[in-house]
Structure 1
Amino acid sequence: MAVDILLPSMSAGMEDAVIARWLVTVGERVAKGQPLAEVETDKATMELEAEAEGIVGALSVAEGRRADVGQCIAVLLAEGESAPQAGAPAPVSAPAPVSAPAALAVQDPVVSGASPVAPAAPSDAVGQGRARISPVARRMAAAAGIALDGIAGSGPRGRIVKLDIARRLAGGPARSEPLAAPEPAAPAAPASGRSAVPPGIGPYTAQPVTNLRRVIARRLAEAKQSVPHFYLSADCELDALVALRAQVNEGRDKAQRISVNDFIVKACARALRQVPEANVIWHGDEILHLADVDISVAVATGGGLLTPILRGADRMSLGTLSAEMKALAERARAGKLRPDEYQGGGFSVSNLGMYGVKTFSAIINPPQSCILAVGAAERRPVGRGESIVLAEVMSITLSVDHRSVDGALGARLLAAIREGIEAPMSLLL
């Protein structure tokens, strides 16, 4: 019996993913647990394994194309079995409209009651009185109050995907019949349709938005619109830290040297243990006080910003923290982070000092309450008693969610971070 391989949810909140590369071909025999494909989620590329043995009968989604969670992306066949023909009619006694209670989660009286709707061709698009539809498309239809009858899907085997719902919302032409053969899932499109290119911009090259960039755009837009940010800044003198770092790194291989950023992350972990009231996340009607100090550290990759997590950072020695951070950053740039290595965290650190940025304000990563933006160190004049001397000074800015952390509490946390940076010996204890 043919077995449909459905795209599983491989991380929390995942709705779709890109089939980056198929690791098998049609006609190839596969064993249970054998990798079938490399799947690009919003944060990493992971292998999808076969849950049963069989022969690959079809690959329904082409490499580089997007598929919804729950969508059939491949078919496994038993020995001697032939692949089912996509779009082939299912045996029915007589063509009749689909039963509304069985087929529809939401019924639109205007659409369905205006005139009788001709039933869709009896194919895999409708089976046993229920439309084949992706979870994302079903939610879109329910939110808009769109009836599913009369919509012929453009996905594999006539499956209704979100592009079909977007076409209906935009008033575009609906497909009159399902596809005769399986085609790759169409790329996501906004419900309002693609916006027009601004006039007068001259020649340009269009670059498709990656899965990671799309998620970054959505999350940060939501954060900036919904989270009441406020910002606290301070200058930190680094002479003691720079001197201690030189001593700690003496005799170490270059790959094992402790960075200034390692000291900063450790100072944040220590500060959160000293000011536990700030180690919280906003959760609607509740504020969750976190028992562990888990710090997300921003890592720039070719596809966008990732934030792997140092779990229990306050309990790590500086050397252990540095080694763990290097390993996480390497896996992040290679797209090999596991979900548990980037999901969660209670505080973030973003450092742009290596690019010469003097100061900036970072956007909070919900549901976290704080993120520290770290600028470049530079020689500046500072007052020492009655004298003015030059010292290594670095500006830091704490972005705070005012719903869960008040101004005075945020100021206490920033002061504790600054104290750890300016008295780095305390970080070694």
Structure 2
Amino acid sequence: MAKSKSKQNKNIATTSENMAETSFKIVENSAEDVLDQYLIDQSGLLQLSTQQKLELGYKIDQFSDNRHLPKYIPIFKTLFVCLGQKIEEMTKEQTLEEKLDKVSNKIDNIGQEIGKIPKTAKPANTQPSRAFPPSSYAHAASYNSAPIQPKLENTKTIIVKPKVPNTSPKVIERQLKTVITEAKANPRITSIRTNKTAVVIRSAETNNDKFNKFVEKINKHPLNQNTYSAYVPRKQDPTIVLKGVSIDNDITTIIPQMIDNNPDLLPYKEAIRFLFKTKNWHPKQMNLVFRVSPEALRIISEKLRNQIFIDFQCCRTEQRVFVKQCQRCFKFNHKTTNCRNNHVCKKCGQEKTQEHSCANLPTCCANCKNSPAHKHDTNHFPNTEHCPFYRGQLKKQLDQTQF
């Protein structure tokens, strides 16, 4: 049964401030599910592409209950204003394109005149020409540029941990390099690095048999002498969100409630683990995050249709991927409470002091602005899928999850 808010609820840690969440939906949700996130803060609408805005606009006739429509009218007004501005921009671009066509025709005429010049004619003082980027696809095909090193995707990880207490990972790293040289396994290693507790090896080996034999050679090599252990880290289970749970519900009993009211989950009682809670747009509700096994996830999505009964409620579930991102400096892989970096503004990317104000400044990603590869595309927030660094972390989480 739903209980009154107890002291136990106060002791439940809420770590959502350190986890940027990304929707990864299993089934198509109603208009209410999609639009709820924009009720309180509509600034996220400005970051959407034109296609995404159109798709949200189509949701106006997809409500599960049309009586809910008035609540979402401000969102549709914002969408229609943005789309109207885009139409004006497209009209201006069309006019500009016509002018560019005229300039292009003149350039073609000049090119024809240049073609009439004898090829044997050379200027008196020839100097090396500057390397300009290709101006068209045809130019790019013939452009003599330096080869780009291909990125290695789907690298595998080996963790090597000491068995003897107080053994420095640096010592193990030196031994491992000797082992790898003597093994002659050619495991296509891309990097070897150490952290406080272990040595991390990354390999681009695609043959699973060769990769597993290499791990076995590390463990059985004479230099090892049972001082360290190499293993391939196990992938983590997926995460789901139970949405709209009453804040009066006792979180400490939420898993027994799920099992008691949904008999299909009984065999997976040990495979469901509560992680943390997050805010819901409704002040009297909360969202609860769980880690579940792939088998339990299939039961929830296929048999239960992403609806779970708890005491006096039926709540929707949604699969999500959570990126561990500090909400103070917007770097990755550490918590806000442990951050030692300066406080950074999410909108403008500058240091956020008490006197900080950026109402008239453009949006600038704090991570991309310092990157040589992405410094020319910074018009987005650092904790959205528009950011290439965030997308990279999201892909990393997906690669490390077993479905």
The interval holding the TM-score normalised by the smaller chain is: under 0.3
Name which structure has the greater RCO, CA cutoff 8 Å, separation 6+.
Answer: 2
- Structure ranking higher in strand proportion: 1
Q: TM-score, normalised by structure 2?
A: 0.20
- Structure ranking higher in helix proportion: 2
Q: TM-score, normalised by structure 1?
A: 0.19
